[in-house]
Structure 1
Amino acid sequence: MLLSRQWLVVVAAAAMLGARRSLQAQDNMRREDHLRWPGGEVTFHLGRNLTGVVLANIREVMAGLESVTCLRFTPLGTRRGARYATKVLYIRRGHSCYYEKVGRRASGSVLLKLGDRCAQRPTAVLHMFLHVVGVRHEHQRYDRNYYVTVDHHNILPSHAREYIRRSWGVSYVASAGLPYDYASIMHHAASGHPRDPRRPVMLPLVPCAQLIMGQRDVLSPADVARLNRLYGCERHYLGDDIIGAVPYATWRRRASRLRRLEDHRRW
């Protein structure tokens, strides 16, 4: 039986609504919490074909993160039971820099590929490692439209996922109560991944911020504070002195309430 045009519109709209609801269901705070490694301990295994420069950069990044956060990187097989760990970060050589997913998997291991060209600088490796420990791009925050404009038509399809704006609740938890940070090492530059290189993909509403957007030189204070807040590193820098930041204790209390409210709504 053929459907009339009106019925086709209704069916298509229902399908789109269902898809939208399924995406919203996936974007929840509990799922975001599961991206983090339990206790801040990351068990890793280095591939044999990694070059000397890349290996040195990996070790520098791990040591740097351990010095400013409570994250700990443990080689596979060096502690009791680690030989049989099911959640392992496998670091391998690749043609480019590629992370399989943000954060750890609920089950199974995580693959990080580092190419010789893109991993020549320690801070490029650092950007990838922050993805591995569960940090998304800064410009994926729910409130990003107050700070940048994004030309979605000029984004390469292969990088479109890097510009998806997260829901409000997830953003509040993932941003750890810290203000929008143009200087974050997790923020793309204005020219990031364009279809047409002559046009910017993203422009800041504060023009001078374009000078620091996309920097890959150092972790910003908010980057460090976000890691420590997300992993509960209370003996390290928490960023309470950053202008516009919600005090850590207040953010933690509000985030807990939001999680309970979300759980109640799902039931």
Structure 2
Amino acid sequence: MSIRIFLGLLTFLFCKGNVIPGQDPKNVPNLFNLPGMLVNNRSDIVLMEGDIALSKHTDRTAYIQSPKWPNGIVPIEFDGAFTEEQKNVIIGAMTTISQNTNDCIRFVWRNNNPAWLRIHSGQGCWSYMGKTVSSGQQDLSLQIPGCVHHSVALHEFLHALGFAHEHTRPDRDTYVRVYYENIEPSQTFAFDKFPSNQVNTFNQAYDYGSIMHYRNDAFSINGRPTVKPILAGYENWESYMGRGDKMSAQDIQKLKTYYGCP
């Protein structure tokens, strides 16, 4: 059975919250404050901004130039750690992306494809940015159990498709204030902006509702906000940032624009 057909058969599983039984769909997990989730013990990578993997020999700016997956087709495989129930949650995130791009972006089984995305339960929730290998496997980690959630999987798949965090936009200071005094000292780099010549905003306005936005308390050292909206009329978005369980309309439009979808 092809993954495309499999995704269609699973769609009905994901209309009531997209969570494993026992998880409260009202409590979308904080990707950046999951106990034990962001420790990286691998010797060959570093985690930038908490969940973006880079080779230890790669400059921070290099990932923004990572190529797209050709023709929007992403070959995938699961490692053996996931139960069928957990796979269904992750596949639900892939279904969401495919459906919202009218199958312009598709996830297929690895089969004989020379390069593929290996979804595994590693140390934390993280992904490389865009397609970083010409052959062999590219890892995406969804650690069991905390990372196996629809919204977390969506976030990491969008990284794998080539997207950065919304708050790293070069124009972000017009829309949010970052409270460095409340950030874990070792994580202040996660709030660095990209220069305008290194990131593409696709002519979209700043998106407080993006699945790629940090929560207001991401990497907080004291429980106080680390990032807050400052644009007039959007102050109430503070409690919603980074807590959504679906892609925003702008997330979808950016995906379509980037991959040349009709």
TM-score (norm 1): 0.68
Q: How does 1:62-141 map to 2 (within 5 A)?
A: 62-69=94-101, 70-77=104-111, 81-82=112-113, 85=114, 87-99=115-127, 101-107=128-134, 109-141=137-169
Equivalent in the alignment of 2:198: 170
> More helix per residue: 1 or 2?
1
Q: Is the 8 A contact 1:51 1:116 kept in 2?
A: no
C-alpha separation in 1, matches of 2:259 and 2:175 = 26
Equivalent in the alignment of 1:41: 73
TM-score (norm 2): 0.69
Matched residue SS, 1:94: coil
Could you list the runs of 5+ residues in structure 2 that have no partner in the other structure? 1-58
C-alpha separation in 2, matches of 1:222 and 1:63 = 18
Q: How far off its partner does 1:215 sit?
A: 2.1
Could you list the runs of 5+ residues in structure 1 that have no partner in the other structure? 1-24, 235-267
- Give the root-mean-square deviation of aligned CA atoms: 2.1
Taking only the aligned residue pairs, the percentage that are identical comes to 29
Structure with larger Rg: 1
| Deviation string, structure 1 residues 157-200 (Cα, Å, up to 9, x no partner) | 554443221111233x2x21110000111111110111222x21
C-alpha separation in 1, matches of 2:82 and 2:188 = 29
RCO (CA 8 Å, sep 6+): is it higher in 1 or 2?
Answer: 2
| Deviation string, structure 1 residues 29-84 (Cα, Å, up to 9, x no partner) | xx63434212111111110111233201111111221111111111111xxx42xx
The match for 1:201 among 212, 219, 226 is: 226
In structure 2, the CA distance between the partners of 1:224 and 1:148, relative to structure 1 (3 Å rule), is same
C-alpha separation in 2, matches of 1:224 and 1:49 = 30
Name the amino acid aligned to 2:220: P
> More strand per residue: 1 or 2?
2
Q: How far off its partner does 1:90 sit?
A: 0.8
Q: How far off its partner does 1:120 sit?
A: 3.9
Matched residue SS, 1:88: strand
Q: How far off its partner does 1:153 sit?
A: 4.1
